[in-house]
Chain A
Amino acid sequence: MIQVPPADREPVRHLYVHIPFCHRICPYCGFYKHTPGATDRKRFIAALVAEAHHAAATIPLDIETVFFGGGTPTLLSHTHLELLLDGLHQTLPLSNVREWTFEANPKTFDRAKLEILRTHGATRLSLGVQSWNSQFLQLLGRDHTPEGARESFELARQSGFPSLGIDLMFALPGQTIDQWRDDIDTTLDLQPDHISTYNLTYEEDTEFMQRFERGEFHQDPDADAPFFLLAAEKIPAKGYHHYEISNYARPGHASQHNSAYWKGSSYLGLGPSAVSTIHRQRWTNIPDTTRYIEAVESFHHARGSAETLTDNDWRTERLALALRTSQGIALEMVGGPHNPTVQSLLEQNLAHIRQTHLALTRKGRLLADTIATELL
């Protein structure tokens, strides 16, 4: 059984809500999701609200950031969205929310839906564009066209979202560096507040993984490096801060919610497969919508697997996550500036010291995992 942190501890300030529905399943995506099928969405929403209610009763909460991820949160209908958001507002302390993000796929919302999000507190939209090239959109199994993505972006702008982000993918099978440059340029032309760029990875149990294993796709980290570097050069040149390996933001637009993960703050996750980490307790909700609903209806929560983080686990995570950020890791966490490993990283121009912190250089960022292993 999960220990409930004592009430005198810091309240949990970050909330993640997982909406597992997608129109269709993208062949590369490894997250828990499914087409809505016969799922009773009203019952699902009731379960989410019930889970939130139980959490609010047992865990001290003072929510400052909210992130709706998926799946496709914007796939919920107007009515269902209103039902869910009203339910959460009635259940959770959301008055101090500073940032409220929705992941959204192009062509899954209209002006009215955006209006509902805005009036219920959403401040940020993260648009899963992935590519501006219709050939790659098709390969990735995306429903939208480049034009559709552009329209959706404009619509979100007009709806007055204070912060708009675009997600892109690179190192797609067959993608040339010029094609990637075009994607970056097109994105920069739209002047979003935030850009995420993700190297395509082959995830377990995906169609892409099968194709990779059959030899249809190839992976060459060396060949991917110039794609990463191109983004790391071009995007900051337009005034974006490269504040995490895969994330760029204009001043004031860095994701506070994601930054909380990287800083090691506690967060509560609601919905199937959602992960919560509260102080040293981490648990994962049942990654199955039907069983999730049944569990919440019976027990008011749907915690599946759980772990207690040891000091060592904690340190490893802190190191791994902090190294990915522009701020870097506190030097005392890695044995100080004279640690030979640190010295060697400095000599090789893989890292630099910024006052009290060790941060990776652009070259070092490409090797963040290896460097984290070296520093462990």
Chain B
Amino acid sequence: MDPALTRNFSIIAHIDHGKTTLSDRLLEVTRTITERQKQDQLLDAMDLERERGITIKAHPVTMAYAARDGKTYQLNLLDTPGHVDFSYEVSRSLAACEGALVLVDAAQGVEAQTVANVQLAMNQNLMILPIINKIDLPGADPEKCRHQIEEVLALPGEDALLASAKEGIGIEDILEAIVERVPPPRLRGDDTLRASVFDSVFDSYRGVVSYVRVFSGTIEKGRRIRMMATGNDYEVKEVGVFTPKQSPRPALGPGDVGYLIANVKSTADVKIGDTVTDARKPAAEALPGFKEIHPMVFAGVYPVSSEDFEQLKLAIGKLQINDAALTFMAESSAALGFGFRCGFLGLLHMEIVLERLRREFGMDVISTYPGVVYEVDKTNGETQVIDNPLMLPEPQEIEEIREPLVKAFIMLPNEYIGDVLQLAMEKRGIVDHTETIDDGRVMLVCLLPLNEILVDFNDRLKSMTRGYGSMDYEHAGYQPAKLVRMDMLIAGEPVDAFATIVHRDKAASYGRKLAAKLKDVIPRQLFVVAIQAAVGGKIIARESIGAMRKNVTAKCYGGDITRKRKLLEKQKEGKKKMKAIGRVSIPQEAFIEVLKTSG
């Protein structure tokens, strides 16, 4: 395809601002798909994506558009995951484009996620086209949106196109703007093969399908290629484009977006952001921007019934084939039995993995509290990376602990600013600045420890702003913090599943909260059971469960004996299923109950 007639672009938007609807319209208007095909194949999406209105995998599609200038253009739309958990993948998808459409809901205005994604697009030097969508809505206020686009996104507001993807208004204008304003792929001087991998999926019949953008040279069937980051060579079996189905083509040339299949067995062998080159005539340097991705959030994942361990292992293994960002390692817990320590890109990624285990594999699983990855400088000069609280060195061996930070963009109605500032402070946040979006809303930009926003931050933000607050964030490096490991002890025995790394100043209140919750769910024993939170051997919170006082059958004569025996057998069965923490017997459900409700 002639690069001059090719346009590569993405759509970025806050959730529910109409990204999917606009994509559908573009495909319809360019007759890429018919109405009938829409439901089956348009997004080829997981139920989970459709339900949550999120995109997890990239969904590229190639459209042919007959423009008003009489020429037919090849438009490649790279639909990308919009969530910060996948910001690296997003950055690779954006790097494969020359332009981005930014959708703003005409009634809602600019939201936190819009800001974060526009920043990513700007970092890639993309041509950004603002589009004010849903102008048919009664509450639409395009002028206010133009103002916000200027003020908050720093984009020319008067250039924003008006559209209603739902009603089909402005779609042609958008297509024309893509042709006119998004630059064609820039050509390099040589014809050495350089293509960037922006996603990959596993196909059980054909192996790994890599999604690529060609920057220079060509790829065709039979070519020996090299993945520059891994150094592995493969023979190309097939190349093609997305129409949106995978449709084979003889070759992919400069500026093209498509796929390649080359006998790769696992997505772990295809690194997102890697450069594909010719094995016989390799490029001297890889394309910029490649990074090894590392999980940011870790948690223990356990089967609710221990006999499901092997099945869980298979299920996680299968997920990993298609999700190279997921890591897992077997671990065991006195409280929860055998399970896995899993690494995720973020909380959404974790939720998705757990949800997929439940839905696609029918697994009943429970996870421990998610934790982040800490950097620890030890007094002996070593630096350790800690993803499991149990692995934190003893306090006297620690010189410094650093924790990951995020830069959070929080948008909210003015009247809630006090509450939200308080929340940010409670979460150890530092406010960077606030911006007025319009007469009703402000944006709060602050630095927050990632650990602090893992569990309930978003829920609390939503509830204190009656659902109007929104948040997005980007990673912002590491910073030293006064962190300690807190252990929960039951009758003097530490319970591994509840060990956490917390800020020193918050340990006592967190410990009290957790102790109180454990107290509620642990059944009484024959003796008094102390529940303690401890930091470095010092007890910082304490609860106690009184001894059981009375459990005795009143009448026990000839006719009652069978019933009595059955009662005891039942009690014994129940006890067998319990987990022993020292001499305390605790049903696993008790732990699960606490893990479900705490944060």
Residues of A within 8 A of B (CB): 16, 31, 198-201, 221-222, 224-225, 228, 245-246, 258, 261-262, 267, 269, 273-275, 277, 282, 284, 307, 313, 316-317, 320-321, 324, 344-345, 348, 350, 365-374, 376
17 of the cross-chain contacts (CB-CB < 8 Å) are: A199-B552, A221-B548, A225-B549, A228-B552, A261-B556, A273-B559, A275-B559, A275-B561, A282-B562, A317-B564, A344-B583, A345-B526, A350-B526, A367-B526, A368-B551, A370-B526, A370-B551
Q: How far is the CA of A30 from the CA of B562 in the complex (A)?
A: 15
Contact across chains for B550 and A225 when beta carbons are under 8 A apart: yes
Q: Which of B527, B558, B559, B568 contacts A369 (CB 8 A)?
A: B568
Whether A316 lies near B568 (C-beta < 8 A) is yes
Report chain B residues within 8 Å CB of A307: 562
Of A261, A350, A373, the contact of B561 (CB 8 Å cutoff): A261
When the two chains form their complex, are residues B549 and A317 in contact, meaning their CB atoms are under 8 A apart?
Answer: no
Q: Which residues of B contact A (CB under 8 A)?
A: 526-527, 548-559, 561-562, 564-565, 567-569, 571-572, 575, 583
What chain A residues lie within 8 Å of B569 (beta carbons)? 316, 376
| A133, B569: Cα distance in complex, Å | 38
Contact of B571 among A198, A200, A274, A373 (CB under 8 A): A373
A365 → B minimal CB distance (Å):
7
With CB as the reference atom, state the residue of chain A lying closest to B571. A373
The answer to whether A261 and B568 have CB atoms under 8 Å apart is no
Give Cα A307–Cα B564 distance, bound, in whole angstroms.
Answer: 15
- B568 engages A221 (CB within 8 Å): no
Q: Could you tell me if B561 and A277 are in contact, using CB atoms closer than 8 angstroms?
A: yes
Nearest residue (CB) in B for A221 is B550
* B-chain residues with CB within 8 Å of residue A317 when the two chains form the complex: 561, 564-565
A348→B558 contact, CB < 8 A: no
B556 lies within 8 A of A324 (CB): yes
Contact A245 B552 (CB under 8 A): yes
Chain A hits for B526, CB < 8 A: 345, 348, 350, 367, 370-371, 374
The residue that A274 contacts in the complex, of B559, B564, B583, with Cβ under 8 A, is B559
Within 8 Å CB of A369, what residues of B?
551-553, 567-568, 571
CB pair B567 A198 closer than 8 Å = no
With A221-B549, A277-B561, A350-B526 as given contacts, are A373 and B554 in contact (CB-CB < 8 Å)? no
Identify A16's interface contact among B550, B554, B556, B558, CB under 8 A. Answer: B558
Partner of B556, one of A31, A245, A282, A284: A245
Q: Contact check: which of A258, A261, A262, A316 meets B565 at CB < 8 Å?
A: A316
Min C-beta distance of B564 to chain A, whole Å: 6
A373 and B572 contact, CB distance less than 8 A: yes
Q: A277-B561, A350-B526 are in contact. Are A320 and B568 (CB under 8 A)?
A: yes
Say whether, besides A317-B565, A348-B526, A368 and B552 are in contact (CB < 8 Å).
Answer: yes
Question: In the complex the two chains form, what is the Cα distance from A269 to B567 in whole Å?
Answer: 23
Whether the Cβ atoms of B556 and A321 lie closer than 8 Å is yes
Q: Say which residue of A201, A246, A320, A344 sits within 8 Å of B564 (CB atoms).
A: A320
Chain A neighbourhood of B571, CB < 8 A: 369-370, 373
Q: Is the CB of B572 within 8 A of A370?
A: no
B552 near A366 with CB under 8 A, answer yes
Contact present for A368 and B553 (CB under 8 Å)? yes
Residues from chain B with Cβ under 8 Å of A225 in the complex? 549-550
- B552 to A261, Cβ gap below 8 A? no
In the assembled complex, the CB of A363 is this many whole angstroms from the nearest CB of chain B, namely 9
* Docked pose: A225 CA to B555 CA in angstroms: 16
Alpha-carbon gap, A277 to B559, bound state (A):
9
Q: For residue B557, which residues in chain A have a CB less than 8 angstroms away from its CB? A: 258, 261
* A312→B195 CA distance, assembly (Å): 72
Q: Are B549 and A222 in contact (CB-based, < 8 A)?
A: yes
A198-B555 in contact given A366-B549, A374-B526 (Cβ < 8 Å): yes
**CA separation between A372 and B579, bound complex, in Å?**
19
Please name 18 further chain A to chain B contacts, defined as beta carbons within 8 Å, in addition to the given A258-B557, A367-B550, A368-B553, sorted by A numbering.
A200-B554, A221-B550, A222-B549, A228-B552, A261-B558, A273-B559, A275-B558, A277-B558, A313-B565, A316-B565, A320-B565, A321-B561, A345-B526, A348-B526, A348-B527, A369-B553, A370-B526, A374-B526
Q: Are A372 and B554 in contact (CB under 8 A)?
A: no
Bound CA span A221–B549, Å: 7
* Min CB–CB distance B551 → chain A (angstroms): 5
Docked-complex contact A228 and B568, CB < 8 angstroms: no
A372 vs B551: C-alpha distance when bound (angstroms): 10
How far is the CB of B522 from the nearest CB of chain A, in Å?
15
Which of A246, A267, A371, A373 is the most central at the interface, judged by chain B CB atoms within 10 Å of its CB?
A373
The smallest beta-carbon distance between A232 and chain B, in angstroms, is 11
Minimum CB–CB distance for A160 against chain B, Å? 26
Q: Which residue of chain A is the closest to B555 with respect to CB atoms?
A: A198
Q: Hey, which chain B residues are within 8 Å of A320, CB to CB?
A: 556, 564-565, 568
Shortest CB distance B567–A (Å): 7
Chain B residue nearest to A196 (CB atoms) is: B555
**Inter-chain contact A370/B553, CB cutoff 8 Å:** no
Q: How far is the CB of B578 from chain A (nearest CB, A)?
A: 11
CB distance from B491 to the nearest CB of A (A): 12
Is there contact, CB below 8 Å, between A367 and B551? Answer: yes
Contacts of B561 in A (CB 8 A): 261, 275, 277, 282, 317, 321
Nearest-neighbour CB distance to chain B for A116, whole angstroms, equals 25
B555 to A: closest C-beta gap in Å: 6
Q: Complex Cα distance A313/B548, Å?
A: 26
Least CB distance, A282 to chain B, in whole angstroms: 7
CB closest chain-A residue, reference B527: A348
B107 to chain A, nearest CB (A): 50
Q: Are B559 and A269 interface neighbours, CB within 8 A?
A: yes
Q: By the criterion CB–CB under 8 Å, are A269 and B550 in contact?
A: no
Chain B residues whose CB sits within 8 angstroms of the CB of A222 once the complex forms: 549-550
Shortest CB distance A128–B (Å):
13
Distance in angstroms between the alpha carbons of A313 and B564 in the assembled complex: 11
Q: How far is the CA of A367 from the CA of B554 in the complex (A)?
A: 11
Chain A residues closer than 8 Å to B562, beta-carbon distance: 275, 282, 307
Residues of A within 8 A of B527 (CB): 348
**A residues in contact with B554, CB < 8 Å:** 198-201, 245-246
Cβ of A273: which chain B residues have Cβ within 8 Å of it?
A: 559
Q: Compute how far the CA of A369 lies from the CA of B526 in the bound complex, rounded to whole angstroms.
A: 11
Instruction: State in angstroms the CA–CA spacing of A366 and B557 once bound together.
Output: 18
A344: chain B residues within 8 A (beta carbon): 583
Question: How many whole Å from A109's CB to the nearest CB in chain B?
Answer: 22
Q: How far is the CB of B461 from chain A (nearest CB, A)?
A: 40
Q: How far is the CB of A134 from chain B (nearest CB, A)?
A: 23
Given known A-B contacts A201-B554, A261-B558, A373 and B568 have beta carbons under 8 A apart: yes
Give the chain A neighbours of B550 by CB distance below 8 A.
221-222, 224-225, 228, 366-367
Which residues in B have their C-beta under 8 angstroms from that of A350? 526
Q: Does A376 contact B568, Cβ atoms closer than 8 Å?
A: yes
A345 cross-chain contacts in B, Cβ below 8 A: 526
